[in-house]
């Protein structure tokens, strides 16, 4: 029985009157866009199609995210009609049952992995965010904040640098304006930076310092003493110099989406050792001639590095399997619906948008 494939229908009408814009913020059913692709313009509200998904160039409908380059059409309201190809995307596992992953930010050049020195930096979190960053296609840069609050920032810097192979690590103190110059140097015209890290790490404070003006509310106690300002939305800010900054709220336990390349980049030291194991499929447990275990025994490799690599690799593999299962379930549901509609059990409502 021939079954019509709903995906084969032409869904991408040409948009002669469309103009380019960039997504600055996503709300339910609408987004804030910055008109044009130059920073420094006032954001405007653009509505999304029902369901929130927008056609993209590869034919798949996407949930637009902060940093997306898009096309908008102005008629009685401003409508977002197309998501342009992403050159990078910071993606995490989403809790939702239907969509597999969530893009936290798109078209990013530098991922600032922000971690505080006080309380002491959490190495496992840095490794997780670095893996996410390596997987995005953007370059990770680690920023250690609150250097003014600890007696020995250098020792902590060394500890973090040892798990941040291939990434620059900068230690900063925003209130005393220490260490910010190399970060300001990243703000070239057209470059987009996103700050990720736990709540309270100092992301918004850093974004404000780099912007040179208070563009984001920070965790300072409010003057009226009622609670604290914290970042609740991911938000893109265009700087007068032409660079873009994206601030994010601290997401508790970012679900890891990572391929082997991203894991290998983060754990380049373990991978390098593993190449020297006698057996190619060495699991670095009891095998003779295991270079990884030898390095741990000699103190060359901290045991926590191997544990951390295993934990993140397991999590990434689990996410991938779960993603496959969800994709298969979506596909089954789609075919069931198509078959039912074809039989006439359910007549498609022509007035349904």
Ligand X SMILES: Nc1nc2c(ncn2[C@@H]2O[C@H](COP(=O)(O)OP(=O)(O)O)[C@@H](O)[C@H]2O)c(=O)[nH]1
Binding residues for ligand X (CB under 6 A) = 145-146, 148-149, 172-175, 199-205, 218-220, 230-231, 250
How far is the C-alpha of 131 from the C-alpha of 124, rounded, in Å? 11
Tell me if 182 sits within 8 A of 112, measured CB to CB. no
Sole window of 38-46, 55-63, 113-121, 284-292 interacting with Zn ion (rule: CB under 5 A) = 284-292
Q: Is 84 helix (H, G, I), strand (E, B) or coil?
A: coil
Q: Which is nearer to ligand X, 71 or 153 (CB)?
A: 153
User: Which residue of 204, 208, 308, 319 would you call a contact of Mg ion, by CB under 5 A?
Assistant: 204
Tell me if 122 sits within 8 A of 199, measured CB to CB. no
- Check binding of 160 to Zn ion (CB under 5 A): no
* Residues in contact with Zn ion, shown as a per-residue x/- string from 303 to 342 under the rule CB under 5 A: ----------------------------------------
- Check binding of 138 to Zn ion (CB under 5 A): no
User: Which residue of 88, 131, 231, 319 would you call a contact of Mg ion, by CB under 5 A?
Assistant: 231
CA distances from 185 to 111, 182, 189 (A): 15, 5, 11
Tell me if 31 sits within 8 A of 80, measured CB to CB. yes
277 binds, among Mg ion, Zn ion, ligand X, none (CB under 5 to 8 A by kind): Zn ion
- Check binding of 205 to Mg ion (CB under 5 A): no
Q: Which is nearer to Mg ion, 204 or 308 (CB)?
A: 204
Strands 235-238 and 244-247: antiparallel
CA 137 to chain centre: 10
Q: Which is nearer to ligand X, 52 or 219 (CB)?
A: 219
Q: What is the closest distance, in whole angstroms, from the C-beta atom of residue 117 to Zn ion in the complex? A: 34
199 binds, among ligand X, Zn ion, Mg ion, none (CB under 5 to 8 A by kind): ligand X
Q: Which is nearer to ligand X, 80 or 195 (CB)?
A: 195
Q: Which is nearer to ligand X, 64 or 198 (CB)?
A: 198
Tell me if 193 sits within 8 A of 142, measured CB to CB. no
Q: Which is nearer to ligand X, 39 or 197 (CB)?
A: 197
How far is the C-alpha of 196 from the C-alpha of 115, rounded, in Å? 9
Q: Is 223 helix (H, G, I), strand (E, B) or coil?
A: coil
Judged by CB under 5 A, the chain residues 218 through 277 that form the site for Zn ion are: 277
Q: Is the dihedral of CA 147, 149, 155, 161 positive or negative?
A: negative
Q: What is the closest distance, in whole angstroms, from the C-beta atom of residue 215 to ligand X in the complex? A: 12
Tokens representing 131 are 């893996």
The DSSP letter of residue 119 is S
Q: Please, which residues bridge with residue 236 across strands?
A: 246
Contact residues for Zn ion (CB under 5 A)? 277, 282, 284, 290, 292
């Amino acid at each position: 029985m021939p079954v019509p494939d709903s995906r084969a229908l032409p869904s991408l009408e040409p948009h002669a009157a469309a103009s380019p814009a960039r997504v600055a913020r996503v709300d339910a059913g609408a987004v804030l866009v910055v008109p044009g692709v130059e920073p420094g313009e006032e954001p405007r509200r653009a509505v999304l199609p029902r369901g929130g998904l927008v056609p993209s160039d590869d034919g798949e409908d996407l949930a637009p995210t902060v940093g997306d380059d898009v096309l908008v059409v102005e008629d009685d309201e401003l409508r977002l009609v197309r998501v342009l190809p992403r050159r990078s995307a910071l993606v995490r596992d989403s809790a939702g049952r239907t969509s597999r992953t969530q893009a936290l930010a798109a078209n990013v050049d530098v991922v600032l992995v922000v971690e505080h020195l006080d309380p002491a930096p959490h190495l496992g979190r840095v490794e997780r965010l670095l893996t996410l960053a390596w997987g995005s296609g953007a370059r990770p840069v680690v920023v250690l904040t609150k250097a003014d609050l600890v007696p020995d920032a250098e020792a902590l810097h060394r500890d973090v640098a040892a798990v941040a192979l291939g990434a620059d690590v900068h230690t900063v103190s925003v209130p005393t304006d220490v260490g910010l110059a190399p970060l300001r140097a990243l703000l070239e015209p057209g470059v987009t930076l996103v700050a990720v890290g736990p709540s309270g790490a100092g992301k918004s404070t850093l974004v404000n310092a780099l912007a040179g003006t208070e563009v984001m509310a920070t965790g300072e106690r409010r003057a009226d003493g009622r609670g604290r300002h914290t970042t609740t939305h991911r938000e893109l800010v265009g700087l007068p110099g032409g660079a873009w900054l994206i601030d994010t709220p601290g997401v508790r336990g970012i679900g890891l989406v990572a391929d082997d390349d991203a894991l290998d980049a983060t754990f380049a030291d373990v991978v390098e050792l593993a190449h020297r194991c006698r057996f190619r499929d060495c699991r670095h447990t009891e095998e003779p001639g295991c270079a990884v275990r030898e390095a741990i025994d000699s103190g060359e490799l901290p045991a926590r590095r191997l544990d951390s690599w295993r934990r993140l690799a397991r999590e990434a593999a689990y996410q991938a399997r779960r993603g496959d299962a969800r994709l298969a379930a979506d596909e089954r549901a789609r075919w069931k619906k198509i078959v039912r509609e074809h039989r006439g059990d359910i007549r498609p409502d022509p007035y349904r948008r």
